[in-house]
Amino acid sequence: MQHFASDNYAGICPEAMEAFVSANAAHAPAYGDDEWTRRVSERLRDLFETDCDVYFVFNGTAANSLALAALCQSYHSVICHELAHVATDECGGPEFFSNGSKLLTAPGAGGKLTPDAVREVIARRSDIHYPKPRVVTLTQATEVGTVYRPDEIAAIAALAHASDLRVHMDGARFANAVASLGVSPADVTWRAGVDVLCFGGTKMGLPMGEAVVFFDRRLSEDFAWRCKQAGQLASKMRFLAAPWLGILEDDVWLKHARHANAMAQRLAAGLAAIPGAGLLFAVEANGVFVHLPARVLDGLRARGLRFYTFIGAGGARFMCGWDTQVESVDALLENIRALMAEA
Amino acid sequence: MQHFASDNYAGICPEAMEAFVSANAAHAPAYGDDEWTRRVSERLRDLFETDCDVYFVFNGTAANSLALAALCQSYHSVICHELAHVATDECGGPEFFSNGSKLLTAPGAGGKLTPDAVREVIARRSDIHYPKPRVVTLTQATEVGTVYRPDEIAAIAALAHASDLRVHMDGARFANAVASLGVSPADVTWRAGVDVLCFGGTKMGLPMGEAVVFFDRRLSEDFAWRCKQAGQLASKMRFLAAPWLGILEDDVWLKHARHANAMAQRLAAGLAAIPGAGLLFAVEANGVFVHLPARVLDGLRARGLRFYTFIGAGGARFMCGWDTQVESVDALLENIRALMAEA
Amino acid sequence: MQHFASDNYAGICPEAMEAFVSANAAHAPAYGDDEWTRRVSERLRDLFETDCDVYFVFNGTAANSLALAALCQSYHSVICHELAHVATDECGGPEFFSNGSKLLTAPGAGGKLTPDAVREVIARRSDIHYPKPRVVTLTQATEVGTVYRPDEIAAIAALAHASDLRVHMDGARFANAVASLGVSPADVTWRAGVDVLCFGGTKMGLPMGEAVVFFDRRLSEDFAWRCKQAGQLASKMRFLAAPWLGILEDDVWLKHARHANAMAQRLAAGLAAIPGAGLLFAVEANGVFVHLPARVLDGLRARGLRFYTFIGAGGARFMCGWDTQVESVDALLENIRALMAEA
Amino acid sequence: MQHFASDNYAGICPEAMEAFVSANAAHAPAYGDDEWTRRVSERLRDLFETDCDVYFVFNGTAANSLALAALCQSYHSVICHELAHVATDECGGPEFFSNGSKLLTAPGAGGKLTPDAVREVIARRSDIHYPKPRVVTLTQATEVGTVYRPDEIAAIAALAHASDLRVHMDGARFANAVASLGVSPADVTWRAGVDVLCFGGTKMGLPMGEAVVFFDRRLSEDFAWRCKQAGQLASKMRFLAAPWLGILEDDVWLKHARHANAMAQRLAAGLAAIPGAGLLFAVEANGVFVHLPARVLDGLRARGLRFYTFIGAGGARFMCGWDTQVESVDALLENIRALMAEA
């Protein structure tokens, strides 16, 4: 049975697995001094059409926390949406890696920050009893399955830079956002003003690993030391790097992201046809948030399905991954229809 | 060409790779709530013959640093050998994860701490201007290829516990030590007084990953939160856990460790027969440290070979791994003989 | 001109100054190994009628942050009121000293937490992606000038202890609360379930310095080392300790607190008689929060008066200290009346 | 009885006390927004003949740790002498405030670093497994009572800056060094290449408090926030600042330092005349280190005298302060002579 709890319930996509296995052919230098790491870094620079600085770390907590720590000091603060993963689901990781930087949350419709919301936080206080804002972080796609358009990012980034803040993007589902927008990765990152992107690999079909991509290379000074000290330097780096080769080839990453997004659309369309099943957010990436009666949610769980319900009362989250099958979506819809009809 | 720079130049052993690939069969719950993680944890409890508490993290820096942080507070100190990896090669990782715990180093022949050396550090100071010793960490096998016998560990652990210190073991090469000693894993850990072991997987042939094994379960309270916050919780945990299944089956881990140790013995025996090549330490695990003339070292490098020379002037380190071939060892010896003869 | 911006605009009260000066008579051992520190510690144990453990640190940021750090680990969280000083005015101090512990805020009328509000936070999540609640902190008197009664504290403490949480009290204005309640210090602290109190000295008339009082002595293990490492061990400790002697003698601290409270009552009574001046919170300690027209606030500032307006739109905070004079209160009232009349 | 254990056994000098008391005349704004803080900052800029940036913190642990944390990141390292106070007597304070920066110690005759010793540490390693050197810290006067000449500082600073390192000076006894050298404060700091000085107040006769003086103002960006977060912002700042006014007036600080140095010279001269009492280091500031027979040390202690013996076996440290009396020195010498004669 396929669950809809998280896109990280999916395994490794075939292309990533093949690259992983092939990287095992021989003896190779450690700590990134290998050909796979070099090639993937080059491929990422090609993909982003700029001479960015690239680092591979083990997971998203570390990628975001290390990147944020590189952008501010402990007495600075990071402005984020109140639903941002860094604020709600990292167990204080950003605070730990930065030794105390505070996350200042702001509201925003559809899980998205706006220039006004960011401006309000920047202007809130300027005394030394309050941590000085130094970074804005955007989640792309957002925690509720919406997507920032390039102009939306550019507006926030312009405001941020004008106030001497840096712009970080949590791209755990960056692939889904790019696939949804149909723009180039460059357009939605550095051309819009993003300084650092955490490009998620795990949810795209890798076994593990994220890439921290510095578009503003001044910000990555000594970042390799930072990673090492913080337990994020893989000795057999090739196994963290090689899977990226598999998915960057022939835009496999976009193909998988488009599939996941399409499954979410299919699910959303099906739900829209069910009276009483109200979509909570625009479905723009690979997540579907829907309000369902409590007994329907209980019924789904009773049938063995796993999913989260952290968005308000009665709100269920269904995530689609690269491996989500049409049949699984249809079966989920069928289950919901049946449970709704039981009432 | 096989290098002798590090046992982490080796790739993934076949048994680990097979288990890794087979874990990819299906969709599975994340964050360790999967059958592979459960099974490996059980296997480790069987292996150690005790109900220990097991956590899987990405690498050795993190394993040791998190374990040490769990054993002390920032104003405490950790006693280690002056050549200990945590002191010399972790870029301040233990200090970072613990928020400031100081490593107090002690000398010792053959890279090993002794009760006397530990006692001296414990007794050195007791005022509040000096961080209070709270942990002793032992590296097994040591950084210079020697091995602690169970009675040596027990003597240090008894002293430590009598002084209210805890005992940590950095087991990046624990397999090589166990294979060398021919004892049970339990005998060389908790039965000898070790409270926490960082059991290295990477150098045993895994793609990455170490197990933190708490024998004293009171010390692992909330350790899962600690791992999560510190960026060491793998979402697709099964890929970190499954490879362990491959090597724990049929004592594959010991078979590989014995092979690496045997290659080191072959190399040592060959070197012993070369006049002018002086072994620096007893060869008890998988590393060989030898003094060679500078021009010989230069000559080896000129022939493309990689190895380290961090132990004093003229000292070369040659590490053997699970993949080191007899032919590679013999070729290395041949190269050394030829270069020595050139003089 | 006396301002009403903060009770720390006041200087040193005569009794504290006299004790300070008299402590300078001679040469004396450093770091707390002196008679003044010993005597004050004894006096505090007498005052609290229990064998508590006492430490003197330089200021309130440090007192609260160090105490909280002693009660939890970096991956734990601290439950506090959304207006709590530790959350709003310490520039991330608690996060810094604890290396990342998150503050989880809860609402509550009159600046006070309730068992229900605390219970909601405790019950909110139990997964490892969210920092585990380990401490509840209460501010006594609160940031808005109200006071917790012993039974209110006891109810929260009972809930906290039942959930394995510890109870911390930020007592920057503890004196004002005790003076207001007319209870014994013991009744409003350990007898009600408080584990650690940060007893504010600065706002009571000392030049600087707070006392961290551990009622549960198991929680203060090695706290002296924690203070030292964190830059909070005074070498000439006697000058931090002696002023306490001056104010603990003959209940001078209560006399001063009663005076400050009385000034606040006088101000509140005067404001109540001014149409259009609406008190925002019950006046139970030494702070008065009142809503005044913007032009009145501007007018007060134009006349040189300093005060804060951080509580919502139009809300002004007037703090009274041990040195606030009747004439100053009356002059403030007169100014407000005149400005109100100008409209 | 006057002890010779530490110059911080001395109380507050009359000039500092007078300034302290006079600062208590009235109600005054908090957190440094007061006239005393402004005036002292100006006086320090005059004293150093440059537009430096000045901050007042509570003690030396904090001053040095905060300054070092401002100069490097957690994965950087700080080069210091192996006897440096930051390394031996701060309980890991620098590591705590910087979240893990490692102190790399170097030897050096007379407690002083040399360019060669610093160069060796800088050149030791350049790989990411070792924290990158970013700061050199010099103690002036040193822990063993010697003093760096301006040219010695300049040589080290030139080397440091050429390697992209910053230069910090721990000036807990800066006054004694300046008094000894007879140079201007500017000559021995920024003109010689020092970027940041921690100017000790406590040992000069203040009740507490040190000044962090940034000569390179680019390094002090947001330092006020750093102090606040770390519990080093005094609310009643005037009482930390005012005593400096007392000792900066009419070079009182130098007068007191010269006296302490003279007492050390008197003691050294007396010891030189006692057969068997061997001075261990040149007496250039206010400390005298002498080798004495164990029974003599025991005898001094039996007569109630306090002093430290942390420098090797048989080495005693006698510190003189601004309050050390000629009679006390002579009595100490008499006691030593008597005890030596007893043999």
Q: Count other C-beta atoms under 10 Å from residue C286's C-beta.
A: 32
**pLDDT value for A312:** 66
Please check the confidence at residue D312 and state whether its pLDDT lies above 70.
no
**pLDDT value for A313:** 67
Tokens of C159: 């809930």
CB contact under 8 A, C100 and B75: no
Please check the confidence at residue C311 and state whether its pLDDT lies above 90.
no
Interface of A with C (CB under 8 A): 74-75, 77, 88-93, 95-96, 99-102, 128-131
Of A75, A100, A228, which has the smallest distance from its Cβ to D222's Cβ? A75
Instruction: Locate the chain A residue with the closest alpha carbon to B5.
Output: A29
Q: Are B293 and B276 in contact (CB under 8 A)?
A: yes
Output DSSP code: residue B308.
Answer: B
Please check the confidence at residue D126 and state whether its pLDDT lies above 70.
yes
What does pLDDT average to over chain C?
A: 96
C-alpha triplet D195, D201, D207: angle, nearest 5°: 155
Min distance D103 CA to chain C CA atoms (Å) = 15
Question: Which residues of A fall within a CB distance of 8 Å from D31?
Answer: 128
Output DSSP code: residue D46.
Answer: H
How many cross-chain Cβ pairs, B to C, lie less than 8 Å apart?
50
| Distance separating the N- and C-terminal Cα atoms of chain D | 25
Backbone torsions φ then ψ of A144, nearest 5 degrees: -115, 25
**pLDDT value for C25:** 87
Share above pLDDT 90 across residues of chain A, in percent, rounded to a whole number: 96
Alpha carbons C292 and C316: distance in angstroms, whole number: 7
Please check the confidence at residue D280 and state whether its pLDDT lies above 80.
yes
How many cross-chain Cβ pairs, A to C, lie less than 8 Å apart?
58
CB contact under 8 A, C74 and A92: yes
**pLDDT value for B45:** 98
**pLDDT value for D258:** 98
DSSP states along D129-158: TSPEEEEEEEESS-TTS----HHHHHHHHH
Query: C144 CB contacts (<8 Å, ≥6 apart)?
Result: C83, C110, C111, C280, C281, C287, C289, C311
CB contact under 8 A, D131 and B74: no
CB contact under 8 A, D6 and C240: no
- If pLDDT is split at 50, 70 and 90, which confidence band does D310 have? confident
Of D65, D207, D230, which has the smallest distance from its Cβ to C239's Cβ? D207
DSSP states along A230-273: TT---TTTHHHHHHHHHHHGGGHHHHHHHHHHHHHHHHHHHHHT
- If pLDDT is split at 50, 70 and 90, which confidence band does A342 have? confident
Of A12, A61, A66, which has the smallest distance from its Cβ to B233's Cβ? A61
Q: How many residues does chain C have?
A: 343
What does pLDDT average to over chain A?
A: 96
Of D89, D97, D131, which has the smallest distance from its Cβ to B92's Cβ? D131
Question: Which residues of A fall within a CB distance of 8 Å from D100?
Answer: 229
Of A75, A99, A229, which has the smallest distance from its Cβ to D75's Cβ? A229
**pLDDT value for B312:** 65
In this prediction, residues A249-275 reach a mean pLDDT of 97
Architecture of the domain whose range is B13-250 = 3-Layer(aba) Sandwich (3.40)
Please check the confidence at residue C26 and state whether its pLDDT lies above 90.
no
In which residue are the tokens 């008890």 written? Answer: B284
Instruction: Locate the chain A residue with the closest alpha carbon to C133.
Output: A91
Instruction: Locate the chain D residue with the closest alpha carbon to C242.
Output: D207
- If pLDDT is split at 50, 70 and 90, which confidence band does D342 have? confident
Mutate to test the interface with A, among D127, D222, D227, D237 (most CBs of A within 10 A): D222
Burial class (CB in 10 A: 0-12, 13-18, 19+), C121: middle
Min distance C159 CA to chain D CA atoms (Å) = 31
Interface of C with A (CB under 8 A): 74-75, 77, 88-93, 95-97, 99-102, 128-131
**pLDDT value for A310:** 74
**pLDDT value for D248:** 98
Question: Which residues of D fall within a CB distance of 8 Å from A233?
Answer: 128
**pLDDT value for C1:** 75
Closest CA to A201 of A19, A1, A2: A19
Q: Among A183-187, C243-247, C292-296, where is mean pLDDT lowest? A: C292-296
> pLDDT of A111-138, one tens digit each?
999 999 999 999 999 999 999 999 999 9
Q: Are A78 and A132 in contact (CB under 8 A)?
A: no
Domains B13-250 and B252-341 share a fold: no
Instruction: Locate the chain C residue with the closest alpha carbon to A94.
Output: C100
- If pLDDT is split at 50, 70 and 90, which confidence band does D26 have? confident
Query: D60 CB contacts (<8 Å, ≥6 apart)?
Result: C235, D85, D170, D172, D198, D200, D202, D210
pLDDT in tens, chain B (343 residues): 789 999 999 999 999 999 999 999 889 999 999 999 999 999 999 999 999 999 999 999 999 999 999 999 999 999 999 999 999 999 999 999 999 999 999 999 999 999 999 999 999 999 999 999 999 999 999 999 999 999 999 999 999 999 999 999 999 999 999 999 999 999 999 999 999 999 999 999 999 999 999 999 999 999 999 999 999 999 999 999 999 999 999 999 999 999 999 999 999 999 999 999 999 999 999 999 999 999 999 999 999 999 998 766 678 999 999 999 999 999 999 999 999 998 6
Asked if omega into B141 is within 30° of 0 (cis), the reply is yes
Which partners does chain C have (≥3 C-beta pairs < 8 Å)? A, B, D
Query: A242 CB contacts (<8 Å, ≥6 apart)?
Result: A19, A20, A22, A23, A36, A40
Pick the CATH number of B252-341 from 3.40.50.1980, 3.40.50.300, 3.40.50.150, 3.90.1150.10: 3.90.1150.10
**pLDDT value for D314:** 72
CB contact under 8 A, B21 and A23: no
Alpha carbons A289 and A308: distance in angstroms, whole number: 10
In this prediction, residues C132-161 reach a mean pLDDT of 98
Question: Which residues of C fall within a CB distance of 8 Å from B227?
Answer: 128
> pLDDT of A27-74, one tens digit each?
999 999 999 999 999 999 999 999 999 999 999 999 999 999 999 999
Across-strand partners of C104?
C79
Interface predicted TM-score (ipTM) of this complex, two decimals: 0.97
SS3 C263: helix
Instruction: Locate the chain C residue with the closest alpha carbon to B131.
Output: C225
Of D76, D128, D225, which has the smallest distance from its Cβ to A75's Cβ? D225
**pLDDT value for B25:** 87
Alpha carbons A69 and A76: distance in angstroms, whole number: 10
Min distance B179 CA to chain D CA atoms (Å) = 28
CB contact under 8 A, B99 and D100: yes
Query: C237 CB contacts (<8 Å, ≥6 apart)?
Result: C30, C31, C32, C34, C36, C37, C56
DSSP states along B80-95: EETT-HHHHSSTTHHH
Share above pLDDT 90 across residues of chain D, in percent, rounded to a whole number: 96
Domain range annotation of chain A: 13-250, 252-341
Longest dimension (CA), chain D: 63
> pLDDT of D222-270, one tens digit each?
999 999 999 999 999 999 999 999 999 999 999 999 999 999 999 999 9
Of C75, C89, C91, which has the smallest distance from its Cβ to A75's Cβ? C91
Question: Which residues of B fall within a CB distance of 8 Å from A202?
Answer: 235-236
Question: Which residues of D fall within a CB distance of 8 Å from C62?
Answer: 231-232
**pLDDT value for D313:** 66
E strands within A140-243? Answer: 166-171, 196-200, 210-214
Mutate to test the interface with B, among A2, A9, A17 (most CBs of B within 10 A): A9
Alpha carbons D100 and A83: distance in angstroms, whole number: 31
Please check the confidence at residue C314 and state whether its pLDDT lies above 80.
no
Share above pLDDT 70 across residues of chain A, in percent, rounded to a whole number: 99
Residue C194's alpha-carbon distances to B123, C132, C153, C156, in angstroms, are: 37, 20, 8, 10
Query: D123 CB contacts (<8 Å, ≥6 apart)?
Result: none
pTM above 0.90, yes or no: yes
Of C75, C90, C92, which has the smallest distance from its Cβ to A91's Cβ? C75
Which partners does chain B have (≥3 C-beta pairs < 8 Å)? A, C, D
Which partners does chain A have (≥3 C-beta pairs < 8 Å)? B, C, D
CB contact under 8 A, C99 and B74: yes
Q: Are D40 and D213 in contact (CB under 8 A)?
A: no
